[in-house]
Structure 1
């Protein structure tokens, strides 16, 4: 089992790349799924700067997704170019 943190340009690129990597679409519910991968769509991540009345939120670049890969034999190399290694991930698997 391994965890992957991915960053795409936007939701459309995420969807296209995950489908190309073997995810299927449940048209009835409109969700992506894979029998050997857990998907956590984080989306746009914001960071706050300043304090009090000067508090602002800044969007981090990209559209973010976390994968927990159950089957280590899967070839997910097409997603390598989207992999990131955050120092402090916004969300992690428990």
Structure 2
């Protein structure tokens, strides 16, 4: 079993690349499916960049979007060829979401 973190330009590119990698679209539920891979679509990641205390017990938090559209894979079959996704793999220091 292995976990893979992916970053695409947008949702359309993610969809296209996952179909190329062997996912199929479940038209009834409107999602992508692969029998040997769990998919966690994260989408756009917003990261806090500045926190201001206004003195009124409220804080103003400024966010910036990380570049790209993100998804995580948990691959149960280590023998799957996922080389078509190689260009989209990222290795974040602190992932926004991880598998439990």
TM-score range, shorter chain: over 0.9
Which protein has the larger Cα radius of gyration, Structure 1 or Structure 2?
A: 2
Report the count of equivalent residues: 94
Instruction: Give the gaps of 5 or more residues in structure 2.
Output: 53-58
Deviation at 1:81, TM superposition (A): 0.2
Pick one of 83, 95, 100 that aligns with 1:77: 83
RMSD of aligned C-alpha atoms? 0.9
Partner of 2:65: 59
* Greater fraction of residues in strand: 2
**Normalising by the residue count of structure 2, what TM-score does the alignment of the two structures yield?**
0.91
Instruction: Give the gaps of 5 or more residues in structure 1.
Output: none
* Greater fraction of residues in helix: 1
Which consecutive segments of 4 or more residues in structure 1 shift more than 3 A?
Answer: none
Deviation at 1:54, TM superposition (A): 4.7
Cα distance in 2 for residues equivalent to 1:84 and 1:93: 16
**Normalising by the residue count of structure 1, what TM-score does the alignment of the two structures yield?**
0.96
